[in-house]
């Protein structure tokens, strides 16, 4: 073969085609159900976007719901079995399993954010949320490995079925999605993770504590990115950000926003008490 042929001559069709749209790459990752494959696809989309291999084009719609594996079985929160006594193997596995599930859904939440609203919000928004999606894939992989080290795996236990609903309810409104997903759900993670980390550390599990410390650090950045783009939305409609956030949360978030709050981590993410003190229950 002549040495001058391009490396991908066997895939000439792809070479001559326009770059794939970022929306179709995101859609493909959302429609990947197998957890390992979803992590791989997500990291590949984030990397391809970063190196300019995907076009800023939104030529396909995001699915109503992402693909997921057959297991775990999804249950309503009220049907979830008790975790068992603290310190028992059963309780430990249940804790890491529930955290792995949260991160698994977080991958899809970040992908959907970038793919559904990226066109209207611009390239920086896409970059930010694809970076979040890649972080969530890494968090999930760390937790899945942790579960395996305990002789279990993701899918071995039932999981909370309500996490996607908040996203679905806000699918037509980027300000509402930002208000509920990063600024309520992920901010809740900032409140509860330090206590879990302390318990895990006190039980002598320094490897587990390390994973949680990394997740906590990353989640402060995720809430910060959500808040940054929410402030832009408020500016676009010339609304007071705190008042807009409170009205969107009241309309779209069915749960309670309850203390204790990790005020310093929230503030590091740009979420001051002016936002949440008025709606706390």
Question: Interface residues with Fe ion (CB under 5 A)?
Answer: 103, 106, 136, 139, 186, 219, 222
Q: How far is the CB of 240 from Fe ion (least distance, A)?
A: 26
Distance in Å, CB of 68 to Fe ion, minimum = 17
- Minimum Å gap between C-beta 135 and Fe ion is 6
Closest to Fe ion by CB, 136 or 155: 136
Q: How far apart are CA 152 and CA 17, in angstroms?
A: 44
The nearer residue to Fe ion, 10 or 267, going by C-beta atoms, is: 267
Q: For the chain, how far is it from start to end, CA to CA, in angstroms?
A: 72
Minimum gap (Å) between residue 112 Cβ and Fe ion = 13
Nearest distance, CB of residue 130 and Fe ion, angstroms: 13
Q: Between residues 40 and 56, which has the closer beta carbon with respect to Fe ion?
A: 40
Nearest residue by C-beta to Fe ion? 222
Asked whether 183 and 245 are in contact (CB, 8 A), the reply is yes
Which CB atom, from 58 or from 103, has the smaller least distance to Fe ion? 103
The β-bridge partners of 118 are none
27, 57 Cβ separation under 8 angstroms? no
CA 259 – CA 19 distance, rounded (Å)? 47
Min dist CB 269 to Fe ion, Å, is 11
Residue placing its CB nearer to Fe ion in the complex, 58 or 130? 130
Q: How far apart are the C-alpha atoms of 184 and 249, rounded to whole Å?
A: 8
- Pick the closer one to Fe ion by CB: 27 or 222: 222
Which residues fall within 8 angstroms of residue 92, CB to CB, at 6 or more apart?
A: 150, 203
Q: Are 54 and 157 in contact (CB under 8 A)?
A: no
Question: Where would I find the H helices in 122-272?
Answer: 123-149, 165-169, 174-180, 187-202, 206-236, 241-252, 263-268
């Amino acid at each position: 073969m002549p040495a001058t042929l391009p490396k991908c001559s066997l895939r000439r069709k792809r070479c001559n085609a326009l770059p794939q749209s970022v929306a179709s790459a995101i859609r493909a990752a959302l429609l990947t159900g197998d957890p390992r494959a979803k992590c791989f696809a997500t990291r590949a989309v984030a990397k391809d976007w970063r190196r300019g291999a995907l076009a800023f084009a939104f030529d396909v719609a995001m699915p109503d719901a992402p693909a997921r594996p057959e297991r775990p079985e999804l249950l309503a929160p009220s049907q979830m079995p008790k975790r068992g006594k603290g310190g028992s193997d059963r309780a430990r596995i249940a804790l890491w399993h529930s955290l792995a599930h949260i991160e698994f859904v977080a991958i899809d939440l970040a992908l959907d954010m970038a793919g559904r609203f990226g066109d209207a919000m611009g390239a920086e928004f896409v970059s930010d949320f694809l970076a979040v999606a890649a972080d969530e894939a890494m968090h999930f992989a760390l937790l899945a490995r942790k579960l395996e080290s305990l002789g279990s795996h993701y899918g071995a236990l039932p999981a909370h079925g309500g996490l996607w609903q908040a996203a679905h309810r806000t699918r037509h409104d980027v300000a509402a999605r930002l208000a509920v997903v990063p600024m309520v759900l992920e901010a809740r993670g900032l409140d509860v993770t330090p206590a879990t980390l302390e318990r895990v550390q006190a039980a002598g599990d320094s490897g587990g504590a390390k994973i949680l410390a990394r997740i906590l650090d990353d989640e402060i950045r995720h809430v910060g990115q959500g808040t940054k783009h929410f402030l832009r939305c408020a500016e676009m409609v010339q609304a007071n950000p705190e008042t807009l956030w409170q009205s969107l949360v009241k309309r779209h978030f069915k749960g309670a926003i309850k203390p204790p709050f990790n005020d310093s981590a929230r503030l590091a993410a740009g979420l001051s008490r002016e936002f949440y003190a008025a709606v706390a229950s």
